[in-house]
Amino acid sequence: MKLIDAHVHLSAAEYAGHTDELIADAKAAGVVALVTNSMDLRTCQSDLKLAEKYPDLVYPALGIHPWNVNVLKENELEQTIDLIQKQKSVVKAIGEIGLDCKYETAWEKQIMVFDKMLRLAEALALPAIIHSRGTIDKIAEMLPSYHLKGVLLHWFSHSIGTLHRAVDDGYFISEGPQATYAKDIREIIEKAPLTQFLTETDGPVIYRKPPYNGQLTKPSFIRNVVESVAEIKNMQVDDVAQQVAENFQVFFNIKLN
């Protein structure tokens, strides 16, 4: 079975010193691809190193996360864009980018950075991995202005009506460990077409409920996620995994071995 973690943050401080262990554990669990999403310039550089160290397994999605727009250093935005342009042959997506309603103080700056990231995705013909907490209306209003290769609304947690519109627009969604216990997420999975669906852990985000119980999130949790999706959709686990692996190849333009 080929498992995919389409959204994780391997360069997060919580994983420092443990990435080799995490990746070995993921491989042992059947994970064949991890898309490591950066948050700022430092994590862009670190994610590139990991991708170099683990070819055909770790793939970088680079960008500035909305949580970081308020703490960007002088020239960090320009330097990050410059780095991504220089590394365009290895970068597989622009991510994690987006808008977050909890950081309203930096709203105008969030929109400015998000716009720059979307322009970069357009210019480099890369898909975008988007964080949309509480901001899907503004994001939906902005996206049609760009010609994007693909849009992944990660950890999709909006209404079913919004889901249908996103799917009609050709966007992909991804869900993670909440698939095992969160009623709203399970309903989204039930209603989403599996052909536009990816699995993620969003590690190091911690999940408090069973079976995760607050332990440090690992990409190997993907097995649980796939099992939950199979249960919700009343399908075989293997069939879900196979479809997600196909979706991964289509969305990221990556050929799995």
Q: Which residues bind Zn ion (CB under 5 A)?
A: 96, 202
Closer to Zn ion at the Cβ: 10 or 32?
A: 10
Beta-bridge partners for 186: none
Burial class (CB in 10 A: 0-12, 13-18, 19+), 233: middle
List all residues 6 or more positions away from 125 whose beta carbon is below 8 Å from its beta carbon. Answer: 149
Closer to Zn ion at the Cβ: 5 or 202?
A: 202
Please, what is the minimum distance in Å from the beta carbon of residue 220 to Zn ion? 17
Cis peptide preceding 127, ω within 30 of 0 = no
Burial class (CB in 10 A: 0-12, 13-18, 19+), 146: middle
| Alpha-carbon torsion, ordered 200, 88, 39, 93, to 10 deg | -30
**Do the beta carbons of residue 219 and residue 26 sit within 8 Å?**
yes
Closer to Zn ion at the Cβ: 45 or 237?
A: 45
Please, what is the minimum distance in Å from the beta carbon of residue 203 to Zn ion? 9
Closer to Zn ion at the Cβ: 145 or 251?
A: 251
Q: Is the dihedral of CA 148, 149, 151, 152 positive or negative?
A: negative
Closer to Zn ion at the Cβ: 47 or 202?
A: 202
Please, what is the minimum distance in Å from the beta carbon of residue 167 to Zn ion? 21
Please, what is the minimum distance in Å from the beta carbon of residue 201 to Zn ion? 9
Burial class (CB in 10 A: 0-12, 13-18, 19+), 86: exposed
Closer to Zn ion at the Cβ: 123 or 179?
A: 179
Please, what is the minimum distance in Å from the beta carbon of residue 96 to Zn ion? 5
How far is residue 25's CA from residue 131's CA, in Å, rounded to a whole number? Answer: 27
Please, what is the minimum distance in Å from the beta carbon of residue 202 to Zn ion? 5
